[in-house]
């Protein structure tokens, strides 16, 4: 059966609109739309049968039957005009019947685009994409239709809708369609008699570095251990283990300016709560979720955050980033080098001269060597119990006074410095405690550099 016969067979049973007719043969031909393809088929069949009717040896009766099918079943005006011109009657049907496949959704595409336009007002985005979830009634009806007529060259309802609404919306808004990483995805939930729109706004990612000048502040929000964030007497009904965090100090200004629904803080590792982050700062990426404003004045936000939190936290080097860099930030954390300053204490009576000998012994044992660290007891409740091999690149020491030493240590990212000093009861080996032969504990620790 050729395409013309297939089209006529369809219209013997169902009325479908030109959009859906073209969709049924969308893999055939190119550089056209489904609507134009459908109209072209109807026109070509009309022309072919009019020619057959006018030919002396043509099958006149068959030609008129086919023209009547187009006139009455497809409601195709040119076929109706041919019949009228040649003096034949046909049943005049007013356009009451809706397309069997789309119920005339494709004949009213502007309605869907204009509804989305209303919801997109006052939201900033550079490009867009249209997506669709289609009611099973529509899908099942179309699947059965294609099976009934053995239609193997068709395009899905969803693909056609996405493209046509996308083109219309792009034209109305003056914004291009973007398939890879759209700022805005407009998702239609379609039924035959209704629809809903859900806006998926791509997150904004802001890279920067932060300094933490106060001890006692964690990097990110911690839920109260007792109530797990619900609020209880233990946390004074705040739901928080600690009053604030680097995340909570930095994020609000960004969330406010971006009119975002929330944020996620991604750090390149993290320092302990009682450790300061000095030097050039620790890299971080702040993810702003569902922002209605995408184009932020980063320098102004930076100044405002820094002025408000002068003695607590400082941010710098702000620039736009992306999701891929978040992954790289996490993966590269252990490949970085970090420089620490540790102030330590021991009960052992060590003179300045003795410390010089001990330091030489320490450098020989640790510099450019690897240590073995089993997950420390202090974090074993939230970290996998395994042994990590970490390299110590540089170790310098200074005698401060009896029992007090200061160390400058450059290590591989992910090294537990406090355990490198105290040995963690043999879980880290070798350690400063093990090499010295007496207990040494870290009293104050600062991160000086991450590179």
User: Are the C-beta atoms of 281 and 316 separated by less than 8 Å?
Assistant: yes
Q: How far apart are CA 220 and CA 196, in angstroms?
A: 37
Q: How far apart are CA 372 and CA 390, in angstroms?
A: 7
User: Are the C-beta atoms of 191 and 62 separated by less than 8 Å?
Assistant: no
Residue corresponding to tokens 């390149």? 268
Q: Provide the pairing of β-strand 387-401 with 369-374.
A: antiparallel
**Residue 272 annotated among the catalytic residues of the structure:** yes
Active-site option among 104, 272, 274, 332: 272
List the catalytic residues.
272
């Amino acid at each position: 059966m050729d395409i013309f016969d297939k089209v006529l067979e369809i219209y013997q049973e169902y009325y479908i609109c030109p959009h859906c007719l073209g969709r049924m043969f969308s893999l055939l031909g190119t550089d056209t739309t489904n609507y134009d393809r459908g109209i072209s088929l109807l026109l070509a069949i009309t022309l072919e049968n009019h020619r057959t009717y006018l030919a002396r040896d043509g099958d006149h009766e068959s030609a008129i039957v086919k023209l009547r099918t187009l006139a009455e079943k497809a409601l195709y005006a040119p076929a109706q005009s041919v019949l009228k011109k040649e003096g034949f009657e046909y049943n005049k049907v007013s356009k009451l019947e809706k397309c069997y496949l789309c119920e005339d959704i494709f004949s009213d595409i502007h309605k869907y685009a204009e509804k989305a336009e209303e919801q997109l007002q006052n939201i900033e985005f550079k490009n867009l994409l249209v997506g669709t979830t289609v009611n099973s009634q529509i899908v099942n009806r179309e699947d059965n239709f294609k099976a009934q007529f053995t239609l193997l060259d068709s395009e899905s309802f969803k693909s056609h809708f996405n493209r046509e609404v996308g083109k219309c919306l792009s034209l109305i808004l003056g914004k291009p369609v973007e398939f890879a990483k759209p700022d805005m995805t407009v998702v239609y939930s379609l039924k035959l008699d209704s629809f809903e729109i859900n806006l998926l706004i791509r997150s904004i990612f802001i890279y920067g570095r932060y300094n933490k000048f106060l001890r006692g502040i964690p990097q990110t929000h911690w839920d109260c251990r007792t109530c797990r964030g619900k609020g209880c007497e233990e946390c004074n009904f705040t739901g928080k283990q600690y009053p604030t965090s680097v995340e909570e100090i930095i994020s609000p200004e960004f969330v406010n300016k971006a009119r975002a629904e929330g944020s996620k803080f991604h750090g390149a590792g993290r320092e302990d709560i009682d450790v300061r982050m000095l030097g050039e700062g620790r890299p971080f990426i702040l993810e702003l979720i569902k922002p209605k404003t995408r184009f932020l004045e980063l320098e102004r936000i930076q100044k405002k955050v820094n002025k408000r939190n002068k003695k607590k936290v400082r941010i710098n080097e702000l620039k736009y980033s992306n999701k891929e860099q978040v992954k790289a930030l996490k993966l590269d954390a252990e490949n970085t080098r970090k420089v620490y300053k540790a102030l330590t204490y021991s009960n052992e009576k060590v003179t300045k001269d003795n410390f010089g000998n001990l330091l030489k012994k320490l450098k020989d044992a640790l510099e450019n060597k690897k240590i073995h660290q089993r997950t420390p007891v202090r974090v074993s409740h939230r970290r996998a119990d395994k042994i990590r091999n970490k390299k110590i690149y540089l170790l310098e020491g200074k005698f401060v006074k009896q029992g007090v030493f200061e160390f400058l240590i450059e290590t591989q990212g992910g090294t537990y410095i406090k355990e490198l000093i105290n040995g963690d009861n043999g879980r880290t080996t070798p350690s400063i405690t093990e090499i010295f032969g007496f207990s040494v504990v870290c009293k104050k620790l600062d991160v000086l550099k991450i590179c």
